With several copies, the nearest count.
Chain A
Amino acid sequence: MEWLPFSTAEWVAIRLSLRVATVAALTSLPLGILVAFVLARKRFPGKALVDAVVHLPLVLPPVVTGYILLMLFGRRAPIGAFLEQTLGIVFSFRWTGAALACAVMGFPLMVRAIRLTMEAIDPRHEQAAQTLGASPLWVFMTVTLPLAFPGVLAGIVLCFAKALGEFGATITFVANIPGETQTIPSAIYTYTQVPGGDEGALRLSVVAALISLCTLVVSELIARRTGRRGVNIE
């Protein structure tokens, strides 16, 4: 790949960014679907609060979100320490932490996308499935979720795109360690901080834009194949 105008460090950042974005988008998906479903369909006291918490990463400056993550998921922090001891999962200064930061930052977008499509589903479809013997869980799996597929897809795309661009929370939470936590945006930031780094910043920005273009094209193709009415089950 020498013919491509990227330094090794840049290649590392690109690969890492892809990994982080993919992991962030996919691992946050189950929780995203669950939260979206609860917000779309249930009424309970404190619902607005849950909604607000979900939106928090959007509302707070990324740096603040990064600090909060540090305070919760750092090695010395309550949840972080617990996870390390019980499951051996370490976030601090690892790419997993970058993925967590990206997932958190992308979460409001994902939840909203899924929620919107779920709210648009005609409840009579779910009623029809019920009369056919599907329990609420099965209705969710076989009707709600497939019909909400356009939203799920959009949620993945949004979270992925956000993860490609997320930088403030990531760098605050897990710093900017080449090969471990230096994603494309961190690398771009580094370039913008030095005089004459514009060219490198531009190069990587184009890469990020191209990756997102690919993602969009792919998602568009998937969406077209599955159609307006969500995923087709055979």
Chain B
Amino acid sequence: RAAGEPRPILFFAAASLQTALNAVAAEWQRETGKKVVFSYAASSVLARQMESGAPADLFASADLRWADWSQERKLIRPETRRNLLENRLVLIAAANSGDQIRIAPGFALAGAIGDSRLATGDPASVPAGTYAREALTKLGVWDQVSPRIASTENVRAALALVARGEARFGIVYATDAKAEPRVRVVDTFPAGSHAPIVYPFAVTTASTNPDAQVFLNYLASPTAVRIFEAEGFTLQRRGS
């Protein structure tokens, strides 16, 4: 880093946001000439690193709980926090499978799984899994389905299991399903079946970089929105 050059923003972001955020940052750099450096990892890891003094400027969590946890510890500035992005939960199957099933209360998911598995993030720890459990519970099929759950460390692993036919179905985010050609969306979970899937963004308490807030604002710019939507995210109404 040459002297005088402004220090780049260090952005701690959930790994699943990688493609979209990289594209936005590239756009921003083209416009402003300023760089953003990302450190992608699980939200939990990022939160703990901030706690132990990580020099991050921005934090994007894939998980409400870790955003709250960080806020409690005064690691992020509450006034800057906003749920910028929203995602949808979908039921997927391998692209070459013929399975057809409509999501509805009490739908016959367990029967459709048979002796195979339903792959999703770990309900106890991975947000996608948590949402999946919530939705299935609300639809009244969790008890039948839960013994057939294959929970994974992250959504990508669940995606791979379905793509390779190891698991017959999977529950993942719409964004993930969209990017993986070997899987097919069977149906989308109704919005009311689970809490909104949101991605909280915030400037960290430790940040001294004035660009942090600027870039956070840029993430809501039309350019950024276009990129996010292309990736399959839906945009939150401002400020909620």
Q: Are chains A and B touching directly in their complex (CB below 8 angstroms)? A: yes
Which of these, A63, A175, A189, A194, contacts B65 with CB under 8 Å? A194
Chain B contact-residue range equals 35 or more
A175 touches B150 (CB 8 A): yes
The answer on a CB contact under 8 Å between B49 and A175 is yes
Q: Using a CB-CB cutoff of 8 Å, which residues 88-103 of chain A contact chain B?
A: 92-93
Contacts across chains A and B counted by CB atoms under 8 Å: 148
B10 x A70 contact (CB < 8 A): no
Residues on A lying within 8 angstroms of B by beta carbon are 63, 66-67, 70-71, 74-77, 92-93, 168, 171-172, 174-179, 181-182, 189-197
For chain B residues 156-204, which have a beta carbon within 8 Å of chain A?
156-161, 164-167, 176, 178-180
Given contacts A195-B66, A195-B179, whether A177 and B53 have CB atoms under 8 Å apart is no
Q: For residues 13 through 69 of chain B, which have their beta carbon under 8 Å from a beta carbon of chain A? A: 15-16, 18-19, 37-42, 44-49, 52-55, 65-66, 68-69
List chain A residues, Cβ under 8 A from B151: 175-177
Instruction: Tell me whether A171 and B53 are in contact (CB under 8 A).
Output: no
A-B contact pairs, 29 of them (CB 8 A): A67-B160, A70-B49, A74-B52, A75-B53, A92-B166, A93-B54, A93-B55, A93-B150, A93-B166, A172-B152, A172-B157, A175-B150, A175-B157, A176-B39, A176-B40, A176-B122, A177-B10, A178-B38, A189-B153, A190-B40, A192-B44, A192-B156, A193-B44, A194-B124, A194-B125, A194-B179, A195-B156, A195-B180, A196-B19
Given A194-B124, A195-B66, A176 contacting B156 (CB threshold 8 A): no
B149 interfacial contact with A, CB 8 Å = yes
Roughly how many angstroms separate A191 CA and B167 CA in the complex, as a whole number? 22
Enumerate the 4 nearest inter-chain pairs by beta-carbon distance, A residue then B residue, closest first.
A195-B179, A193-B125, A193-B15, A74-B52
User: In the complex, what distance in Å separates the CA atom of A76 from the CA atom of B49?
Assistant: 11
> How many Å from the CB of B48 to the closest CB on chain A?
7
Q: Are A193 and B18 in contact (CB under 8 A)?
A: yes
Is B142 positioned at the interface, with any CB of A under 8 Å from its CB?
A: no
List, in ascending order, chain A residues with CB within 8 A of B45's CB.
Answer: 63, 66, 171-172, 175
Q: Which residues of A contact B160 (CB under 8 A)?
A: 67, 70, 172
| Contact present for B124 and A195 (CB under 8 Å) | no
